[in-house]
Structure 1
Amino acid sequence: MGIKRTWLGLSAALLSTLTYGQTKDNALPDTLQYNDVFNIEYASSPFFGQDDETLYYVRRSMDIMSDRTLSSLWQIDLDGNAHRPFLTDKGNIYQPVLSPDGTKLAFVSDHGGSAQLYVHYMDSGLQAKLTNLQEGPSNIVWSPDSEQLAFTAFTPAQPETLFKGMPGKPEGAKWAETAKYIERTEYRSDGAGYLRDGHSQIYILPVAGGTARQLTTGDYPNSGNLSFSGDGKWIYFAGDRAENYALHPLRSDVFRVNTTSRKVEQVTTVEGPEGNPKVSPDGKYLAFTQLNDRKKSYQNSDLVIMKLPSGNMTRLTSDLDRSIGAFEWADDSRSLVFAYQDKGQTRLARTSLKGKVSKLDVTIGGQSLGRPYTSGEFALASDGTIAYTTDDPLRPADLAVADKKGKSTVLTQLNEDAFGHLNLANVESLPVKASVDDRDIDAWIAYPPNYDKNKSYPMILEIHGGPHAAYGPHFSMEIQLMAANGYVVVWSNPRGSSSYGEEFGNLIHHNYPSDDYQDLMDVVDAAVAKGNIDKDNLFITGGSGGGVLTAWSIGKTDRFSAAVVAKPVINWMSFALTADAYPYFSQYWMPGKPWEVADHLWEHSPLSLVGNVKTPTLLLTGESDYRTPISESEQFYQALRLQGVESAMVRIPGASHGIAAKPSRLIQKVGNILAWFERYRSDKRSDKSE
C-alpha cells in the first residue's frame, strides 16, 4: 500500500512503533518516537510547607491505558533530598492548598469516582472526605483561622421550557428525545459543549464536617479566585452580576459576600474588568488585576492594590507594558511577586506597594507540552524563596528554587529516564528583521537530531495561534517529533503576538491577517539564508490563529510544497456567528457587527484568496471544536475541492479546540501533519507510485 493511502491516518508502521517503540530492524531508537508522548512527566502547582524547608508539588504523568493525564502529590526538601510521594493512593490530586497554620491540606480527588473535597492532617497523615457534591469544587481557599474552606461549584437551575403542553407518553412507548430550549446568550462553550442551565456559586464549609452552605445566588456566574478578608467574615471575588453579563465579556468588578448573612457588596466600580482579588496577609490591602478597556484586540492589564477599608487604589505596573499573570503577596504584606510575559518568555518581578518594580532573574515555563507557548507556575515562601517550574527547550517542567540572593537550583529531573538517552533537537534563536518596517521579529529554529551541516533538510514553518499569544524557546513535543522525523522546524512571534507590548500587539487590530504574513515570510527567508534548507521542500502549518495565517499564506504564495491548516477561521462572517465567544470576537476583533462590516471581514478572510491556492492542503480540526467550529474547515475543504486543489480533511472525533488534550490525540495530530508533508516531499515523491 502506498504512502498516499496509508498515511491519511496512523499507518501500520506507526502503530507498530506505538506498541513496541522499536525500529523495523528491532534496534532501540535513539531519537524521539511517537510513543514517548506517554512517557512525559512534569511539575505543577508548587507550594511550600509550613517550615519553608519542604516543597510540595503536583506531579503529572500520562497514562497509556486511560489516555489521560494523571496527577499525584509529591514532596522534596529544598536541598534536593527526600524526594518522595506524599499523596499517590488517593486518585488524581487537584488544587492542593495548605491551611494558614500549616496543619491541614485541602485537595480535590476523584478517588471515589467523582471530584470531591478532602482534607489531609499533616501531623497524623489521616484524611477525611468533606463533600459529596454533584459537581466538582474549584477555587478552594482557606479561612484565616484554618477552620473553614470556601470554594465554587456549578449549581444547576431548573431548565427553561417553551412548550408546556406535551401529552404524556404511553407506557412502553418510544418517542423522540425532548426538544432542547435555549434562551441565553452564552449557550455553548469549547471544551464544555452545550451548557446546562445554572451557574457556578460560592460555598463555605467547616473543616470539622457538615454541609457546604451556598453563599451566592443569581442568574450570573460567581466563579474565579476567592479570597477571605483578614477577619474571615467576607469572601472577595470578581464577576459581572448584571443580567446582560454575557454581552459584556470584559466587564467585571470585585465584590465581597458575607460568610454569615450572605450579603453581597460591590467593592470596585472602575471602568474595565477587575479580576483575581487577593487580600494581603495582614488584611490591610486587596490586590487585583485591572484592565483599562479600550475595545482593542490586545490590551495589557495592570496589577492594582486597594487600601482597606478606605478604597484608595494604586496602580503598580502601568509602566511595564506587559501581560500580567499570576501574583502572590509576600508574607510581610510589603511587596508582591508577579509573572509577566516578555519577548516569548514568562518572567518574574517584584513590586513594592508604591509601584517600584524590580525584575527578577527567574524564567518559568515547561507546562505547554504540545506547542512552545509561554507557561509556568511559581510559589513564594515566607522568607522570600521562590519555587517555580523550569523552562528548558529540551525538557518539560521540573522544579527549581531561587533564594533571596537570586541563586537558582534545579531540584528534580523528572524526564531523564525518558529523554536522557535520546538525541533531541537543538533549539537556537533565529534573528529576523521585518521587511515591512525593520522591526525585530523573534524566531527560533530546531535542528533534527544528528544534524549534518553538509546535508540539506526539509523545513516546517509552525505558526502560533491567538493571534495574541507567544511562542518561545520552550519544550514542545510537537516540534521535537517533527525534528525527530528529519525536519528543520522554525517558529516565531510575528506582529500581533503578546509579550512585546500593546503597540506591537495592536499592529493587527482590525487588520488580521495583514503584515504578520510578511513577517512569517521573512522568518522563512532568514531560515533559508542560514543554508542547509532544501528550498524545494518547504512546508507550513499552524493551529487556530496559526491556521488562519497558514490558509492566508497559501493564498498569497506557492512557495510551500504542502500545508496543514489546523482548526482555522476561514470566513470571518460565518465565524463571528458560530464561535462560542461571539460577543467577544464581534466587539474586540471586528470594527462592527458582522453584517455592518461584511466587506471588511471578507477582505481578511482566507476564503477570499482560495482562488489563488495551488498548495496541497490538509484540514485538521476536532469535531467538537466550538471556538473555531469545524464548519470553518469544511468551507475551505469544499472550496479547495471545487478548485481542483489536492486536499483532504482529518476530523478528530470528540476533540475540542485543544486537540492535544489527550496524549493519543497529540500523536494523531503530529502524525497526520507529518504524513501529509511526507506525501509531498520532492525527495520522496516517487514513493507515491509504489
Structure 2
Amino acid sequence: MPTAHRSFFSPARFNRLLARCSVALFASAMIVAPASAERNTSFSYTDLFELEYAAAPRITPDGDAVVYERRSMDIMTDRTRINLWQVNLDGSNHQPLFSGKANYRMARFSPDGSKMAYLASHEGDNQLYIKWLDSGRSARVTNLQRSPSAIVWSPDGKWLAFTMFTPEPAKPLFTDMPKAPKGAKWAGAEQYIDSTLYRSNNGGYAKSGFSQIYVVPAEGGTPRQLTFEQSPIGGPLAWTADSSALILSADRHEDWELRPLESDLYRLDVASAELTQLTSKAGPESAPSLSPNGKWLAFLNVDDRKLGYQVSRLAIMSPDGKKQTLLTGNLDRSVNRYQWAADNSGLYVSYDDQGTRKLAFVSLKGDIKRLDVRLGGQSLGRPYTSGDFRVSDSGDIVFSQSDTKRPADLAVLTKRGKTRQLTHLNQDLLDHKPLAEVKIIKVKSSVDKRDIGAWVALPPNFDSSKKYPLILEIHGGPHAAYGPNFSAEVQLMAAAGYVVVWANPRGSSSYGEEFANLIHHNYPSDDYQDLMDVVDTVIAQGYIDSSQLFVTGGSGGGVLTAWIVGKTDRFAAAVVAKPVINWLSFALTADMYPYFSQYWMPGKPWEIADHLWQHSPLSLVGNVTTPTMLLTGEVDYRTPMSETEQYYQALRLQQVDSALVRIAEAHHGIAAKPSNLIRKIGNILAWFEKYQSKPAE
C-alpha cells in the first residue's frame, strides 16, 4: 500500500501515489544458538540511533561539489534529524552548511547559481529561506502557518513556487447545539465526516482542506495563493520557460476520491490563475519537468488497466500538450526518478531491476543505455530498494551508493567512467564491528521453474561446519522488492546468531509487469511455494538446523507469514507484523479502500465474499499450531489494528501459543521512530528465542 517505502501495498499515487536480544549459547557440537559473547563489539540496538545516511543530493552551480541531506537518528526526540552538508566531487572539504537541532532540507539552487533556497524548522514550523552564495548570508523569506513542499525556482530567478496544505472551515451538519453552562464539563465536539477519503495512515483523520499552489518573491514577501481546488494537487511542479506559468498534476474530476490512480497535467497561468488541461490519458500523468531548452515537457504515466501492478513509464510532450512520445515503452520496469541531461539530448532515469535500483540514460528517440550505477542504502529497517541521484551539467553522476554493510553514502561516477566514494558516514560506527556477509542464492520455483531472487545473510564468524537457526524475512507490498541492501533488522538478527534469508517471490516488483501480476486477484497463492523453495534451498547448503526455522514479515510479509503457518507446521515460531488477516474486513477498514477494492479485488467485497475468504489467512487459522506473535502499530490505518486483533482472538480460541504487541505512536511505518524499530526487532527475537529447542545439558 502507499511508499515508495513503501510499505504495505504502496501504489504511491501509483509509483508515488504508483518503500538483538542477547541469549545464551547452549553447548552442542552441531547446533549454534544466538549468542551474547560478542555483545560489546557486534551490531546492537543502540547502534540504530547512531546510523546516518545520505539523501537528496544537489550539485552546486559550479559543478565542483554536492549539497546533500545528512540524515541521522536523534535519540532525544526519537526522530530523524536532517542537516545540510557539502562535499567536493573529489571527496575533499566535507563540511556542514546548516547543522544543529533544527531540520534543514530541500536545497534548491537558483537558475543563475547565485542563491540556494532551503527549508528550516529552527523557528517553529518549516519556513523557506534563501542563502546568497557570494556572501554566505541567509534570510527567511516566508512566514507560513504550515510546511511548504515541492519548492521550485522560476527560470528568471524572481519567484519560488511551492505547494502547501491549506485548511478550510469545517461544515458541521448540526448547528443548534445548546451552550454549556459555565463550569460544566461536557464531552468534546463531534467530528462530522462526509468525505470518502476521511483518514490516512500517516495523517490520521483528515482535516478539511487541500494542498494549494503558492508563489513568493525570491527576495521575500507575501506568498500569493494561485489555486483554490477542491481536489488534490500533486508535486513536483514545473515552470514554463518564460516564467509565466506552472505545470502541475491534479484530478479535477468531481468523483476524484473514487479515482485513486487518475491525474492529468495542467498549465496554471501565474498572472490570471487560469488552469488549462494538457493531458487526458487513462491513469496518472505526474512529475512534470521541462527540458533545459524549454522545448519538451517530460512526465511519468501509467497506462491504467486496473491491474494490481502497472509499470510507470517516462514520456515527453510539447509544452502545449499536443505532441506526445513514450520513451520507455520497451523498458518493462517502473521509472522511479528522472533528470534531464543539460544538453537536452535525453534523460537519466532510475528504475528497479531484480531487486536492485539502477540507472540508465534514455535518448529522445527512446534508446536506452544502462549505466554502471547501483543505488540504495536509504531503507534502514529492511533491505528494500531505494536511492537518489543527480547529474551535473558536465555529466558527473552523484548517487547514494548501495552496500550490504553500510547505509547510503554518496559516490560519484565521473564523466570519464570512474567511481569515487565521497562520504564515509558510518565508518566510525561500523568499521570495527563484525557484520553479516550477504550472499546471493539461486532458487528455482517448484511451481513453474522461474528464477526467484533471494539473498542470505550469514552471522559474523560464520562456520559452515555448524548448524544455525534460520529466519525467513518476507517483504511487504506485495508489489515491492528486497535486494542486496543494508538492513538494520537483518544485521541485528545475524548478530544474534541467525542465518537470515529474504527473497522476491512472484508478485514482487523489479521483474516486470507479468511477474508482478502472477498474483493479481490471486494473493496469497503460489508465492507461498516460492518462499518454501527459498527455505529448502538454504537448508540444502548444509548449515541450517531444520528444527530451528523461524518466519516473520511485515505488511504484505505479515499476510504471507500468517498464510504460511496456516499451511505448514515446519516453523518453530512466527511473528506476523501489521498484516491483513481477513480481506473482507480489510476492504472496508483500510485507509485506501477505493484503491484496494478496484485494483486488488475483482469486485466489491460483498459481491465476492467467497473469493476474498479463500485468500484470507483467517480461513486457515484452524490449521495453525505454530506459536505466533502479532505486532502492529496502534495508529496503523493501512492494515488496521482490527486485522491483528481478529487473528489474535482466533489463535487464542484455538489455544495456540500467541501474543499481541501493540507499538505505541506507530503507524504502518513502524520504523519512523527509531525506538519503535528497536521494539519491533527486539520483540521478534525475544519470541524466537522463547521457542528455540534447547539441547539437553
- Deviation of 1:684 after TM superposition, in Å, equals 6.7
Shift of 1:223: 2.7
Are 1:314 and 2:330 matched, yes or no?
no
User: Cα deviations across residues 649-674 of structure 1 (Å, max 9, x unaligned)?
Assistant: 00001100000111111100000000
Which of 425, 429, 434 is the equivalent residue of 1:414?
425
Q: In structure 1, the residue corresponding to 2:594 is in which secondary structure?
A: helix
Q: Determine helix, strand or coil for the equivalent of 1:225.
A: strand
Q: Which of the numbers 104, 124, 145 marks the counterpart of 1:113?
A: 124
Aligned to 1:255: 266
CA 1:310–1:674: 2 relative to 1, 3 Å: closer
> Distance in 2 between the 1:28 and 1:434 partners?
38
Do 1:347 and 1:364's aligned partners in 2 also have CA atoms closer than 8 Å?
yes
Specify whether residues 469 and 11 from structure 1 end up closer, same or farther in structure 2 by C-alpha distance, changes over 3 A only.
Answer: closer
Q: Does the aligned pair in 1 maintain the 2:387–2:399 contact within 8 Å?
A: yes
Distance in 2 (CA, whole Å) between partners of 1:483 and 1:391 is: 19
- Shift, 1:406, TM fit: 2.7
Q: 1:373 aligns with which of 342, 359, 384?
A: 384
Which of 614, 622, 632 aligns to 2:633? It is 622
Q: What letter corresponds to residue 559 of structure 2 in structure 1?
A: V
| 2:462 equivalent among 451, 462, 486 | 451
Correspondence for 1:660: 671
Contact 2:22 2:36 in 1 (8 A): no
| Distance in 2 separating the partners of 1:458 and 1:44 | 35
1:202-213 to 2 correspondences below 5 Å: 202-213=213-224
- Measured in 2, the distance between the counterparts of 1:251 and 1:587 equals 13
Structure-2 separation of matches of 1:252 and 1:633: 34
**1:124 alignment partner in structure 2:** 135
Aligned to 1:398: 409
Measured in 2, the distance between the counterparts of 1:194 and 1:228 equals 33
Give 1:605 deviation, angstroms: 0.1
SS in 1 for 2:315: strand
SS at match of 1:337: strand
**In structure 2, what is the Cα distance between the partners aligned to 1:563 and 1:194?**
32
Confirm or deny that 1:475 pairs with 2:486: yes
* Alpha carbons 1:360, 1:406 under 8 Å: kept: no
Three-state SS of the structure 2 residue aligned to 1:391 is strand
Distance across 1 between alignment mates of 2:321 and 2:553: 50
Per the alignment, do residues 546 and 90 of structure 1 end up closer, same or farther by CA in structure 2, a change over 3 Å counting?
Answer: closer
| C-alpha distance in structure 1 between counterparts of 2:21 and 2:102, whole Å | 35
Match of 2:166 among 155, 163, 168: 155
Are residues 1:584 and 2:564 paired? no
Question: C-alpha displacement at 1:310, in angstroms?
Answer: 6.1
* Counterparts of 1:582 and 1:209, CA distance in 2: 42
Cα shift readout 1:258-311 (whole Å, capped 9, x = no counterpart): 111101111111122111011111111100011110000011011000023362
CA distance, structure 1, for counterparts of residue 358 and residue 433 of structure 2: 29
Bigger relative contact order (CA 8 A; separation at least 6)? 2
Q: CA deviation at 1:171?
A: 2.4
Q: Which amino acid aligns with 1:228?
A: W
Query: Which residue of 475, 500, 504 maps to 1:493?
Result: 504
Aligned position for 2:449: 438
> Matches of 2:22 and 2:172 in 1, distance apart?
50
Alignment partner of 1:174: what SS?
A: coil
Task: Pick the aligned partner of 2:284 from 273, 285, 290.
Answer: 273
Given candidates 661, 678, 691, the residue that maps to 1:650 is 661
Structure 1 residue corresponding to 2:154, chosen from 132, 139, 143: 143
Aligned partner of 1:445: which letter? V
CA distance, structure 1, for counterparts of residue 518 and residue 281 of structure 2 = 27
* Amino acid of the structure 2 residue aligned with 1:130: V
Residue equivalent to 2:84: 73
**CA apart distance, 1:145:** 1.2
% of aligned pairs identical?
58
Partner in structure 2 of residue 350 of structure 1: 361
Alignment-mate amino acid for residue 340 of structure 2: W
Decide which of 604, 625, 628 is 2:615's aligned counterpart. Answer: 604
Does the alignment pair 1:289 with 2:300? yes
Q: How much does 1:160 deviate? A: 1.8
> Is the CA contact (8 Å cut-off) linking 1:202 and 1:223 kept in structure 2?
no
Alignment partners' CA distance in 1, 2:548 and 2:22? 25
Q: Secondary structure of 2:408's partner?
A: coil
The answer to whether the 8 Å contact 2:602/2:608 transfers is yes
- Number of the residue aligned with 1:506: 517
**Superposed displacement of residue 515, structure 1:** 0.2
Aligned length: 668
Range 426-435 or range 93-102, more displaced: 93-102
The question of whether the paired residues in 2 share the 8 Å contact of 1:400 and 1:412 is answered with yes
Question: How many Å apart are 1:28 and its aligned residue?
Answer: 7.1
Label 1:205 to 1:684 Cα distance change in 2 as closer, same or farther (>3 A). farther
Aligned to 1:17: none
Distance 1:673 1:430 in 2: 25
With over 3 angstroms needed to count, the CA separation of the structure-2 counterparts of 1:243 and 1:309, relative to structure 1, is closer
Gaps of 5+ in 1: 1-9, 15-22
**For 2:267 and 2:688, how far apart are their aligned partners in 1?**
55
1:45 to 56, 60, 70: 56
Matched, 1:304 2:315: yes
Residue aligning to 1:20: none
Within 2, Cα distance between the matches of 1:473 and 1:197?
A: 42
SS at match of 1:383: coil
Shift of 1:471: 0.2
Whole-Å separation in 2 of the counterparts to 1:414 and 1:190: 31
Q: Specify the alignment match of 1:424 in structure 2.
A: 435
Partner SS, residue 235 of structure 2? coil
Give me the CA root mean square deviation: 1.6
Cα gap change, 1:263/1:316 in structure 2, threshold over 3 Å: closer, same or farther? same
Query: TM-score scaled to structure 2, two decimals?
Result: 0.94
Q: Give 2:78's aligned amino acid.
A: D
For the pair 1:568 / 2:576, whether they are aligned, the reply is no
Distance 1:202 1:377, change over 3 A: same
Farther off after superposition, 173-182 or 581-590: 173-182
Does the alignment pair 1:84 with 2:84? Answer: no
In the alignment, structure 1 residue 678 sits paired with structure 2 residue 657: no
d(CA) in 2 for partners of 1:44, 1:416? 17
Asked if structure 1 preserves the Cα contact closer than 8 Å seen for 2:21 and 2:685, the reply is no
Quote the residue 1:18 is aligned against: none
CA shift in 2, pair 1:451/1:364, >3 Å: same
What is the DSSP-based 3-state SS (H/G/I as helix, E as strand, rest coil) of the residue aligned with 1:170? coil
Q: Does 1:631 align with 2:608?
A: no
Once residues 242 and 417 of structure 1 are traced to their aligned partners in structure 2, the CA distance between those partners, rounded to angstroms, is 53
Pick one of 527, 532, 535 that aligns with 2:543. 532
Query: After superposition, what is the alpha-carbon deviation per residue over 1:71-121, rounded to whole angstroms, capped at 9, x for unaligned?
Result: 111111111111111111482112111111111111111111211111111
Deviation at 1:504, TM superposition (A): 0.3
Q: For residues 169-208 of structure 1, what are the alpha-carbon distances to aligned partners after superposition, in whole Å with 9 as ceiling and x for unaligned?
A: 2222221101000000010000110010000000000012
Q: Does the 8 Å contact 2:43/2:434 carry over to 1?
A: yes
**Separation (CA, whole Å) in 1 of partners of 2:629 and 2:656:** 10
Once residues 109 and 575 of structure 2 are traced to their aligned partners in structure 1, the CA distance between those partners, rounded to angstroms, is 46
Q: Distance in 1 between matches of 2:484 and 2:319?
A: 42
SS of structure 2 residue aligned to 1:224? strand
Q: 1:472 to 1:456 in 2, by over 3 A?
A: same
Q: Which runs of 5+ in 2 are unaligned?
A: 1-19, 25-34
How is 1:175-214 mapped onto 2 (pairs within 5 angstroms)? 175-214=186-225
Q: Does 1:387 align with 2:398?
A: yes
CA distance in 1, matches of 2:671, 2:337: 24
Q: Residues 91-106 of structure 1: matches in 2 within 5 Å? A: 91-106=102-117
Q: Supply the distance in 2 between the matched residues of 1:402 and 1:216 (Cα, whole angstroms).
A: 41
Cα distance change, pair 12–366 in 1 and its aligned pair in 2 (3 A): closer
